[in-house]
Amino acid sequence: MSDYLRYRGPKIMAVANQKGGVGKTTTAINLGAALAREGRQVLLIDLDPQGNASTGLGLSPDRREVTTYDFILGDASVDDAIQATNVANLSLIPATQDLSSADIELIANEKRSFLLHDALRDPRIEKRSLDYILIDCPPSLNILTVNAMVAAHSVVVPLQSEFFALEGLSQLMLTIREVRANANPDLRIEGVVLTMYDRRNNLSQQVEADARDNLGDLVFSTLIPRNVRLSEAPSFAMPVIDYDPTSTGATAYRDLAAELIARERA
Ligand code: ADP
Ligand code: MG
């Protein structure tokens, strides 16, 4: 399965953590938008049946005629599935509830873990000269998240700065190891990003210290602060860098994009 030597398409990053509410969707939207602002061509794939990334980028459910579900099942081509967003250089494959039945339906499919991988190894993706594909995963280590990890080059792990944050990580790391062993030996961890960080809070500092002790350089230097602008922006169908460019949230996601690009060069 080591097809990456020949691979000339975009870098594929899964944004994953089986816990809900840790900042996956916020990170997928805002890191994606910040990379797009840097002039990179970015595609966001919404792989969560809740469709929060689709809503947050302004794609109302009635405009989601072709979805990730059609795309992974091969019922729609990339060209039919990709939609433009209001953000320059950022496109989207949206999700709807129908993805939630994928878990059950895919059990019978022999290639069930490879559907997204195969759908993305399409020459039409190369033609679009994308630089990054970000996959917004559901809050579970289910077949959808496994599809994202099998398709991806790396995993971005948002970690909420709260007490049990690190406990869930071992389960996530185990899944990454299994995917490496069975399907995608080159899968890397792009980085762990601390979200909803509160500098004045001892607990945030403790979680950060623990994360850096345990994970070392895997933890991004950039901290994403708790910032109400980040939670408001989706209801205005905007990434935070457009909704409030001077907010601490906007600054943090721009910094995260810059750090990611700098790490790639190093
Ligand atoms: P997930 O996709 O992991 O379930 P979300 O990105 O949807 O998590 O975030 C969960 C909730 O927390 C959302 O309401 C979101 O707006 C809010 N949120 C996420 N990150 C931040 C942050 N850094 N500051 C404030 N609110 C945040
Ligand atoms: Mg989400």
Does residue 213 lie within any of the structural domains?
yes
Ligand 1 test: best mutation among 231, 253, 254, most atoms within 8 Å of CB? 231
Q: How much is the pLDDT for 166?
A: 85
Domains of the chain: total: 1
Edge-first strand listing for the sheet containing 42-46? 83-84, 90-93, 42-46, 132-136, 11-15, 154-160, 188-195
Q: Which domain holds residue 201?
A: 11-265
Residue minimizing CA distance to atom 27 of ligand 1: 231
Residue 196 above 80 pLDDT? yes
Which runs of E-coded beta strand occur in 55-187? 83-84, 90-93, 132-136, 154-160
Q: Are 253 and 34 in contact (CB under 8 A)?
A: yes
**Higher per-residue pLDDT: 223 or 111:** 223
Question: How far is ligand 2, taken at its centre, from the CA of residue 56, in Å?
Answer: 10
Does residue 6 lie within any of the structural domains?
no
Question: Rounded CA gap, 131 and 240, in Å?
Answer: 21
Question: Rounded CA gap, 37 and 251, in Å?
Answer: 13
Q: What ipTM did this prediction achieve?
A: 0.99
Residue minimizing CA distance to atom 12 of ligand 1: 21
Summarize pLDDT for 75-105 with one digit per residue, the tens.
999 999 999 999 999 999 999 998 988 776 7
Does residue 15 lie within any of the structural domains?
yes
Residue 1 above 50 pLDDT? no
Q: What does pLDDT average to over the chain?
A: 93
Does residue 164 lie within any of the structural domains?
yes
Question: Rounded CA gap, 89 and 42, in Å?
Answer: 6
Question: How far is ligand 2, taken at its centre, from the CA of residue 26, in Å?
Answer: 7
pTM of the model: 0.96
Q: How much is the pLDDT for 106?
A: 72
Question: Rounded CA gap, 261 and 266, in Å?
Answer: 9
193 confidence band (pLDDT: 50, 70, 90): very high
Mean pLDDT of 143-166: 94
Summarize pLDDT for 2-22 with one digit per residue, the tens.
455 566 789 999 999 999 999
Does residue 3 lie within any of the structural domains?
no
Question: How far is ligand 1, taken at its centre, from the CA of residue 195, in Å?
Answer: 8
Residue 42 above 60 pLDDT? yes
Q: What percent of the chain has pLDDT over 90?
A: 83
Closest approach atom of ligand 1 to CA 29: 6
Q: How much is the pLDDT for 105?
A: 74
Question: How far is ligand 2, taken at its centre, from the CA of residue 195, in Å?
Answer: 13
Does residue 2 lie within any of the structural domains?
no
Q: CATH number for the domain including 123?
A: 3.40.50.300
Mean pLDDT of 139-156: 96
Does residue 1 lie within any of the structural domains?
no
**Ligand approaching nearest to the C-alpha of 240:** 1
Question: How far is ligand 1, taken at its centre, from the CA of residue 22, in Å?
Answer: 6
Ligand 1 close to Cβ of residue 179 (< 6 A): no
| CB neighbour list of residue 264: distance below 8 Å, 6 or more residues apart | none
Does residue 19 lie within any of the structural domains?
yes
Question: Rounded CA gap, 264 and 266, in Å?
Answer: 6
